[in-house]
Amino acid sequence: MSRLRDYFHAVQYVFFGIAISEAFRKTRISVNPNSVTRGFTLHPCIVAVLILFPLGQDYLVKSICQGFINRISLSLESRVCLLPEGCMSIDEMRTQFPKPKVIQVRGQGNLYSPGFEKNEGYPDYVQCSYQLQAPAGMHVRLKFNVLDIDATDGCGADSVSIHDFDSQGRGILKAMHCGDQLPYDYVSGSVAFQVVLKTDFFGSRRGFNITYSAQSTTDVCSAGLKQCRNRNCVEYSKLCDGNDDCGDGTDEEKCSRLITDDTECGLPDIKPLAYSDYDRIVGGMEALQGSWPWMADLQIKFIVPNGHTCGGALINAQWVLSAAHCFQDTIMRKPDSWRIHLGNHNKFSKDVGEQIRSVERIVIYDDIPSVIFEKNGEFDMDHDIALIKLNAPVKFTKYVKPICLPDPYTQLSMIDNCLATGWGATRGTGSSDVLKQAYHPIQSTVLCSRLVGGSFNPQTMICAGSMAPLNGVCHGDSGGPLVCELNKVWKIVGVASYVTDGTGTEGLCGLKGRPSVFNKIQVKLGWIRRMINRYT
């Protein structure tokens, strides 16, 4: 099923979503209106999708990645679903405003996704909205008992989202979930929560079972317990004990003990795999778990389990190096928008040795004041670099270790063993659910100036990567490290900046004869040390 989804998403990237949407919209099924239960609406549901590829599936997928479309056959099997109150097909939402089902929260009750109580999957291509309303002066508490939503990047296919309301009654997105990781309880800041299930047209799972209740405070935790940023609850006696009891470092914030960097940098306990001529992040070679222990996964906080947006590199116990353009969009400029994962390998499940932190500070080169950057998001692309201060130090283990900074006068060449790592897009050439590695030979500044054009600045940038097609970093790899093994020690020499033929977050990637551009670390060493000293 996962391989089929990989192929499907590769085709969908070019044109397939439109094709299925049109076929779905044109589906017509005859039914007796008198047989429909009161309070329900009719909805044609895709229950089977048959995709017939011609011979040479790999060629098909790769061709589409480069802009060519081969012959493909599609057939749909449909049936009628009864949609309960609060649910509407996505097509109907084009012309009608969805009206949520209002549930008065007097005592305790349960909210189920459509079909859950009958042990059926939720319907495809619908949105279901439920507004849980507590009495005046009260707040709504949600406890997830079951969560089983199809997991995709950014929960972009199926999702269940939770919305609070501000003092003006405007909705505020609090969280978006997919997958099966049960979150800690939610408590509304207002008198209501809105829960929204949104599904696409390809596959479904069990859905959710949520217990709701009303309470007089906004506290998630009982009296005498510390509430963590992730809404976990721990005893106050566990604060600053050196252990991450919260699971996100909250209980180890602003502790007075000395942070030491006595762990050797650039020396992973687990030896990385040797590269091959065919590996690439745009598809290609899965890294050995733990072999790149400095790799940081920058995720949007409200998307769970995987809001992956950019990569980064741990350079000491509390600082991560990444790219400035990762924070350019309005929603990404504030530290509170982020969640940093270290020691992880899989996108959609928590790994042994994984550590999670929030962000205390984002420093954009050359220390742009946060009030200015949060307002306009402007920075100098010649200096596409940023430092991230974590809310609490990480604990060094075999899965979490820092990378070394380079020597200021090191000369790099094509014979150096240099690689890039990331969870970025693979464009249908393989699963991107795990950390990938790709061999990235250093290219000459003359070649890069010719291939990349006037945007390439040899004083502040490094050009690296294979000239072959479908090789190199891609969307989601921005900010990730370019590391080289120098004298048997791994050192970071660049952070991914121009990863596509366009911008860092838009455009084509993996094109023949187009290496990737990384911001050069060697010329930023003084700035890195000054910022760490200034804000530690």
Give the residue numbers marked as catalytic: 325, 384, 478
Q: Measured between alpha carbons, how far is 361 from 336 in angstroms, rounded to an integer?
A: 9
d(CA 66, CA 352): 37
Burial of 91 (0-12, 13-18, 19+ CB in 10 A): middle
> What gap in Å lies between CA 457 and CA 445, rounded to an integer?
9
Q: How far apart are CA 381 and CA 502, in angstroms?
A: 13
In one-letter notation, the amino acid at residue 296 is A
Given a contact cutoff of 8 angstroms between Cβ atoms, the answer to whether 438 and 473 are in contact is: yes
Angle between helix axes 57-65 and 2-11 (nearest 10 degrees) is: 40
CA distances for 349 relative to 36, 181, 285, 497, angstroms = 41, 8, 20, 28
Please list the alpha-helical segments (H only) found in 367-479: 370-376, 445-452
β-strand pairing of 207-215 with 109-112 = antiparallel
Q: How far is CA 161 from CA 128, 133, 149, 155, 300, in A?
A: 11, 16, 11, 10, 14
For 283, residues 6+ apart whose C-beta sits below 8 A from its C-beta are 426, 427, 428, 429, 430, 470
Distances (CA, A) of 230 to 117, 227, 251, 269: 29, 8, 11, 30
- CA dist 237 and 226 (Å) reads 9
Distance (Å, rounded) from C-alpha 423 to C-alpha 493?
Answer: 19
153: its two tokens: 């990047």
Query: If you write DSSP's letter for every residue of 103-133 in order, what string do you get?
Result: EE-SS-EEEE-TTGGGT-PPPSSEEEEEEEE
